[in-house]
A and B are shown apart, each in its own frame.
Chain A
Amino acid sequence: MAENVGVQDDDSDLVTAAAGGDAKAFHALVDRHSPHLMRLATMLSRGGADAEDIVQETLVGAFAGLARFNRESSVKTWLSRILTRQAARAWNRSRRSRMTAHLDDATESAGADAGLSVGSAATATDSKIDIAVMLQKLNAEHREILVLREMQGLSYGEIAEVLDIPRGTVESRLHRARAELRRRLQGYEL
């Protein structure tokens, strides 16, 4: 916890310096936050180049809006919020192609890369699961909230800030998202 506070303080200093025009400070923020932003972007996008584009758009957007960062939330939460919106836009832009070609391609390439296979629940009892592909099949709200909680480790309060929803909605939506994922996982080995 003490370490987090320290990081938070450092982040705050870096944001102050970057907002004052210190490019090195912003580069330090890029180095510090890119890895977790990339994880988030990968899970909320089609992956690969898309994820990098989303991270880049997020950081450029953050840099442009440094002066508006109110410091009520952590830098991580603030950046996650920007990225989640960017990812939602990117997802919507590519919805049509995603519905047709992408899932097949992603399934094939992911399976080939990682040695995993994905099939219908009825035929995949003995198969391992590509959870990334499984998450992509969830609706956007459920995917977002599961990634923010399970992969980013955000608290309910932070998720509420990122998604701009009440804390009570975070709890109910997360409950439904997990229930949906568990339904989809029925028949797979966990």
Chain B
Amino acid sequence: MQECPFEARLSAFYDDELDAGTSGRLKAHLADCPSCSASLQSLRQVSRLIASAPVRSISLVGMARLHAAADAAARQRTVFPMAKALLAVAASALIVGSAWLVEIPGQTASPKESADVHSFDALDSLATGGRLAMPHGIAQETDVAQGPEPLSQWMIDNFARGAEYENQHR
């Protein structure tokens, strides 16, 4: 049996989702079409049936779980941005520090005068979390082409002197 051309629009008519013109034409059609009238009646019955379905409501325990999950999600929202910010600060410090170490040329030999004093300044600075102080004149006296390798050698030397100084003054 061929389906009535209005049949496909019956759902939308039933749901009041048709424009006024189409809805009016379909309404007029229903008076003359037993098939569409029966289908419309069937749609109502299906709706009633679905509406009668027993619906499980959320249990008290389930509700408590939801609120606990909401709290956990709230904590994540608070902690993650803080962790990200701290990570960003740490990463920035690392990048700046690395760049600084690479850019400051090293020196295998310490300056002849006052090197010890400056190297201990550097150690003090390290101990207080500050920037590593370079002995005066080191940048001027160092060959730029030598790069970070002499610098690390200088650091090893100065740390060794620092340890020696500490031993002497105990």
Q: Please report A residues at the B interface, Cβ cutoff 8 Å.
A: 21, 23, 26-27, 30, 34-35, 38-39, 42-43, 47-48, 51-52, 55-56, 59-60, 63-64, 114, 129, 131-132, 135, 146, 149-151, 155-156, 171-172, 174-175, 178, 181-182, 185, 190
Contacts and interface: CB of A to CB of B under 8 A. Distances in A.
Contacts of B78: 21
A146 B46 CA distance: 10
Given A47-B56, A146-B50, A178 B65 contact: no
21 contacts: A30-B66, A30-B67, A43-B53, A47-B56, A51-B56, A52-B59, A55-B58, A55-B62, A59-B69, A60-B72, A60-B73, A129-B49, A131-B52, A155-B17, A171-B17, A172-B8, A175-B8, A175-B10, A182-B42, A190-B45, A190-B46
B50 A42 contact: no
Contacts, number: 106
B56 A42 contact: yes
A107 B14 CA distance: 31
A23 B62 CA distance: 19
A48 B73 CA distance: 23
B99 interface: no
Interface of B: 8-12, 15, 17, 42-43, 45-59, 62-63, 65-67, 69-74, 76-78
A132 B10 contact: no
Contact of A23 (B9, B42, B70): B70
Nearest to A61: B73
A64 B66 CA distance: 14
A35 B66 CA distance: 12
B58 A35 contact: yes
B53 A132 contact: yes
B55 to A, nearest CB: 5
Given A23-B70, A171-B12, A178-B11, A34 B58 contact: yes
A121 to B, nearest CB: 14
A30 B66 CA distance: 7
B67 to A, nearest CB: 6
A26 B74 contact: yes
B54 A34 contact: no
